[in-house]
């Protein structure tokens, strides 16, 4: 049944060439569209990411500025001034002892540390209250420290008590943390003098230069920012999912439309191809009949009439095939009757084997049916014959028909050792008008309706159709019909 069409007229070759060119152009166009859509998606995602990142940065800066201002409002206050005044005074009062050599530099600094430490508990309570009042985030820490203490004596000499950038800063109030983990809020120099009587009984004045700094540290930035940006992130995520869905949907739709358009073009090509032969034969036969010699020769005119009838029938068959095989399962009107499947399939195989050339073997392994099931004999035999015809058409030489009952289904299995079906095509073969891939389309005749029709027939019987196949090894089709099919109609 294989028709090899290897001789092309120039006109047919040109038509094939333009058709091929059209397909290539369509493919390039849709590939460009898909690439464009993917590129836009990536660009949009990158832009969204950039905007989120910028917003994150902006909000972070805003938060830091707001926190800084709030801390300012809390600590610029007479109470805090009085605390710092108190520890500074304690420190300054120790300077005469230091100058007289009664305590060393370390002990002098320790005095400041201790004095500040004593006031810190009270300060922390005050700060906490202030933070609650001004709405400062609980993750914001504050510290006041001294980074430089210089003494300038009357003779112009200076002595560094605390060296800026060399000695660690001297923690005074708040919560201690390394300065490089925080932000500097403010720093100022503070200078005053202290007069006292020194060891030699003279009045001496020391000028004290003191540099105080305010620092702020924010712990667990990410969780603060995440909470602040939650709504934005959520909306961005929803938009992202929406865009992805939209693009995926559009691409899938595009591919589907492209496939449908290809399938329709193929179908038109196929049907034109199928119509050509009978039409050409009809034309020759009609010409023969109109020829005056043929008119006189009864044998020739009878032969021509027979040819016309045959071709007419062929054309009618083609049209019937298109009309009938295009029916959807809900338009198939089943005439159900109880049938013993094994006997029925045996008969179908008997009839089919009559049409088979000798080189093709038809094997049967039919489990005898003991209970009849309700099927439409005409439609089920059409489905089986369609699959058997395909097995022959696609180069099967050993065809096997099996029948088994598996769970609630009677399973008819039809396998062949033909050209097989690629994994990609397996999903498509039950689609309306689907035919084999471009490469060998013209080697095998057909309209791409047979398997679609089979699937609709099986679906109308509430069954399942399936295929297993390996390229170059063969295909196996499974028709699964529920054993209780239609029984409810009879009983109910």
Smallest gap from Cβ 257 to ligand ADP, in A, equals 21
C-alpha–C-alpha distance, residues 145 and 139, integer Å: 20
- H/E stretch holding 273 reads helix 221-290
Residue placing its CB nearer to ligand ADP in the complex, 210 or 453: 453
Binding window for ligand ADP (CB under 6 A); candidates: 174-182, 307-315, 417-425, 483-491: 417-425
List, in order, residues 6 or more apart from 297 with CB less than 8 Å away: none
Helix extents (H) in 100-176? 105-134
Residue placing its CB nearer to ligand ADP in the complex, 169 or 266: 266
Residue placing its CB nearer to ligand ADP in the complex, 451 or 481: 451
Residue placing its CB nearer to ligand ADP in the complex, 285 or 454: 454
Residue placing its CB nearer to ligand ADP in the complex, 95 or 436: 436
Of 131, 146, 411, 419, the one binding ligand ADP by CB under 6 A: 419
Of 388, 472, 437, the closest CA to residue 1 belongs to 388
Q: Which of residues 364-393 bind ligand ADP (CB under 6 A)?
A: 390-391
Smallest gap from Cβ 245 to ligand ADP, in A, equals 32
Of 416, 479, 483, 486, the one binding ligand ADP by CB under 6 A: 416
Smallest gap from Cβ 350 to ligand ADP, in A, equals 21
Structure tokens at 229: 């940006």
Binding window for ligand ADP (CB under 6 A); candidates: 30-38, 148-156, 296-304, 421-429: 421-429
Binding window for ligand ADP (CB under 6 A); candidates: 136-144, 274-282, 346-354, 429-437: 429-437
Smallest gap from Cβ 281 to ligand ADP, in A, equals 21
C-alpha–C-alpha distance, residues 240 and 446, integer Å: 45
Smallest gap from Cβ 384 to ligand ADP, in A, equals 13
Smallest gap from Cβ 399 to ligand ADP, in A, equals 9
Whether residue 442 contacts residue 431, with contact meaning beta carbons closer than 8 Å, is answered with no
Residue placing its CB nearer to ligand ADP in the complex, 397 or 425: 425
Query: Which string of DSSP letters, residue by residue, matches 395-447?
Result: T-SEEEEEEEEETTEEEEEEEE-SS---HHHHTTTTSTT--S-GGGGGGS---
Q: Is 352 in the site for ligand ADP (CB under 6 A)?
A: no
C-alpha–C-alpha distance, residues 89 and 276, integer Å: 115
Q: Site size for ligand ADP, by CB under 6 A?
A: 21
Q: Which of residues 430-469 bind ligand ADP (CB under 6 A)?
A: 434-436, 446-452
Smallest gap from Cβ 26 to ligand ADP, in A, equals 21
Smallest gap from Cβ 423 to ligand ADP, in A, equals 13
Residue placing its CB nearer to ligand ADP in the complex, 276 or 295: 276
Locate tokens 């009849």: which residue? 372
Of 67, 84, 475, 483, the one binding ligand ADP by CB under 6 A: 475
C-alpha–C-alpha distance, residues 165 and 293, integer Å: 124
Smallest gap from Cβ 424 to ligand ADP, in A, equals 11
Residue placing its CB nearer to ligand ADP in the complex, 285 or 388: 388
Residue placing its CB nearer to ligand ADP in the complex, 463 or 474: 474
DSSP state of 469: E
C-alpha–C-alpha distance, residues 199 and 211, integer Å: 28
Intra-chain end-to-end CA distance of the chain, in Å: 46
Structure tokens at 129: 């209250």
Whether residue 406 contacts residue 345, with contact meaning beta carbons closer than 8 Å, is answered with no
Q: What Cα–Cα distance (Å) separates residue 218 from each residue in 60, 68, 171, 279, 298? A: 10, 11, 18, 88, 111
Residue placing its CB nearer to ligand ADP in the complex, 215 or 434: 434
Residue placing its CB nearer to ligand ADP in the complex, 215 or 477: 477
Cα-Cα-Cα-Cα torsion 126, 127, 129, 135, nearest 10 degrees, comes to: 160
Smallest gap from Cβ 362 to ligand ADP, in A, equals 14
- Count Cα atoms within 13 angstroms, Cβ side, for 323: 6
- H/E stretch holding 174 reads strand 170-174
Smallest gap from Cβ 270 to ligand ADP, in A, equals 8
List, in order, residues 6 or more apart from 183 with CB less than 8 Å away: 64, 68, 215, 216, 217
Residues that bind ligand ADP (CB under 6 A): 390-391, 394, 416, 418-421, 425, 429, 434-436, 446-452, 475
């Amino acid at each position: 049944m294989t028709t090899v069409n290897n001789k092309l007229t120039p006109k047919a070759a040109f038509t094939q060439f333009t058709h091929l060119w059209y397909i290539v152009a369509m493919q390039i166009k849709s590939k460009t569209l898909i690439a464009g859509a993917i590129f836009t998606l990536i660009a949009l995602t990158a832009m969204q990411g950039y905007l989120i990142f910028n917003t994150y940065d902006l909000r972070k800066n805003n938060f830091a500025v707001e926190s800084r201002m709030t801390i300012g409002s809390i600590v610029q206050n007479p109470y805090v001034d009085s605390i710092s005044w108190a520890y500074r005074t304690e420190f300054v009062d120790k300077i005469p002892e230091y100058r007289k050599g009664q305590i060393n530099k370390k002990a002098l600094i320790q005095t400041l540390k201790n004095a500040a430490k004593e006031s810190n508990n009270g300060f922390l309570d005050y700060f906490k209250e202030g933070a609650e009042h001004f709405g400062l985030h609980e993750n914001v820490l504050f510290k006041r420290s001294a980074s430089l203490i210089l003494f300038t004596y009357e003779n112009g000499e200076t002595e560094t008590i605390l060296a800026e950038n060399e000695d660690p800063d001297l923690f005074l109030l708040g919560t201690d943390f390394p300065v490089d983990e925080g932000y500097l809020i403010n720093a100022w120099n503070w200078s005053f003098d202290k007069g006292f009587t020194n060891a030699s009984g003279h009045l001496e004045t020391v000028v004290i230069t003191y540099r105080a700094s305010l620092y702020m540290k924010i712990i667990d930035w990410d969780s603060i920012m995440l909470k602040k940006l939650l709504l934005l992130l959520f909306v961005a995520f929803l938009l992202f999912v929406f865009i992805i869905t939209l693009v995926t949907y559009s691409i899938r739709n595009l591919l589907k439309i492209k496939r449908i358009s290809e399938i329709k073009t193929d179908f038109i090509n196929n049907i034109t191809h199928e119509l050509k032969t009978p039409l050409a034969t009809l034309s020759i036969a009609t010409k023969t009949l109109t020829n005056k010699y043929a008119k006189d020769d009864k044998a020739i005119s009878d032969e021509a009439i027979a040819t016309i009838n045959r071709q007419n029938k062929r054309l009618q068959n083609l049209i019937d095939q298109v009309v009938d095989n295009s029916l959807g399962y809900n338009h198939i009107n089943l005439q159900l009757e109880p049938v013993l499947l094994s006997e029925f399939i045996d008969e179908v195989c008997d009839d089919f084997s009559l049409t088979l050339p000798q080189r093709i073997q038809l094997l049967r392994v039919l489990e005898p049916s003991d209970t009849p099931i309700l099927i439409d004999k005409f439609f089920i035999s059409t489905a089986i014959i369609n699959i058997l015809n395909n097995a022959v058409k696609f180069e099967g030489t050993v065809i096997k028909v099996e029948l088994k009952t598996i769970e609630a289904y009677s399973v008819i299995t039809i396998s062949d050792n033909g050209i097989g079906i690629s994994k990609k095509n397996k999903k498509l073969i039950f689609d309306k008008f689907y035919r084999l891939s471009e490469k060998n389309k013209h080697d095998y005749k057909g309209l791409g309706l047979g398997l679609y029709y089979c699937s609709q027939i099986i679906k109308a019987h509430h069954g399942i159709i399936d295929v297993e196949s390996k390229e170059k090894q063969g295909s196996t089709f499974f028709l699964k019909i529920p054993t209780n099919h239609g029984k409810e109609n009879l009983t109910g």
